[in-house]
Amino acid sequence: DTGVSQDPRHKITKRGQNVTFRCDPISEHNRLYWYRQTLGQGPEFLTYFQNEAQLEKSRLLSDRFSAERPKGSFSTLEIQRTEQGDSAMYLCASSLAGGPQHFGDGTRLSIL
Amino acid sequence: TQLLEQSPQFLSIQEGENLTVYCNSSSVFSSLQWYRQEPGEGPVLLVTVVTGGEVKKLKRLTFQFGDARKDSSLHITAAQPGDTGLYLCAGDPVLGGTYKYIFGTGTRLKVLA
């Protein structure tokens, strides 16, 4: 299967710790997106990359959040000094420019 | 401000019944996508509609894009328990300026055997 892959699938951490998630997109896709989804809600857009350039960041992405896509392939999303409100499913998607997005199965973050 | 409203929010029906899910907005979309999401998994793309008035069929699922490209509907014929899941519409509104791909509020469907 060559779909979007996310790691880890689950992360449990204590409040105040830093966490990092990884996303490997579909190989030929030049766009990569990050979303956050809380229970019972649709995904909320966080940021997206075209190749290695981060083109857009949502206001939801506070200064504790940072995303990178250093070589235009995989991406990482880091959350520093985690808070209870950061508990959510973090979804990654990829696409060709102008094409539909294909999602990974997400990383579920639980903050104790 | 939520730009994509879905209705109903929840729907519980018996196997074999028909249903329609609506996705409405005051904004124009260049295209809309429909996804289905199951617990613990990411959304899975079902269809993309692009042209106003377009109708697409995927087995028992029929998708329609409104003439003005502000709304869409999903109709399921003879629902089956395997259709159970969270249905999401999504798209990038033609607002100009910043990119913002948004998802609808979601419709949680449960089909009882």
pLDDT reported for residue B102:
87
d(CA A27, CA A44): 24
DSSP string, chain B: ----EEE-SEEEEETT--EEEEEE-SS-EEEEEEEEE-TTS--EEEEEE-STT-EEEETTEEEEE-TTSSEEEEEESS--GGG-EEEEEEEEE--SSS---EE---EEEEEE-
Q: Computed from CA positions of residues B16, B82, A106, A4, in that sequence, does the dihedral angle turn out positive or negative?
A: negative
Around B77, how many Cα atoms within 13 Å sit in the side-chain half-sphere? 7
Residue B79 has pLDDT above 90, yes or no: yes
- Determine whether the interchain pair A45/B41 forms a contact, defined as Cβ–Cβ distance below 8 Å: no
- What local confidence, expressed as pLDDT, does residue B2 receive? 52
Of B40, B88, B98, the CB nearest to A42: B88
Q: Which of A39-43, A73-77, B33-37 has the lowest mean pLDDT?
A: A39-43
Query: Which chain A residue shows the shortest CA-CA distance from B32?
Result: A100
> Is A106 close to B41, i.e. CB distance below 8 A?
yes
Q: A6 or B4, which is more confident?
A: A6
Please choose, from the candidates B78, B74, B32, B40, the residue with its C-alpha nearest in 3D space to the C-alpha of residue B57: B74
The string of pLDDT tens digits covering residues B1-45 is: 557 999 999 999 999 999 999 999 998 998 899 999 998 899 999
More confident of the two residues B35 and B94: B35
Chain B residue with the nearest C-alpha to that of A99: B48
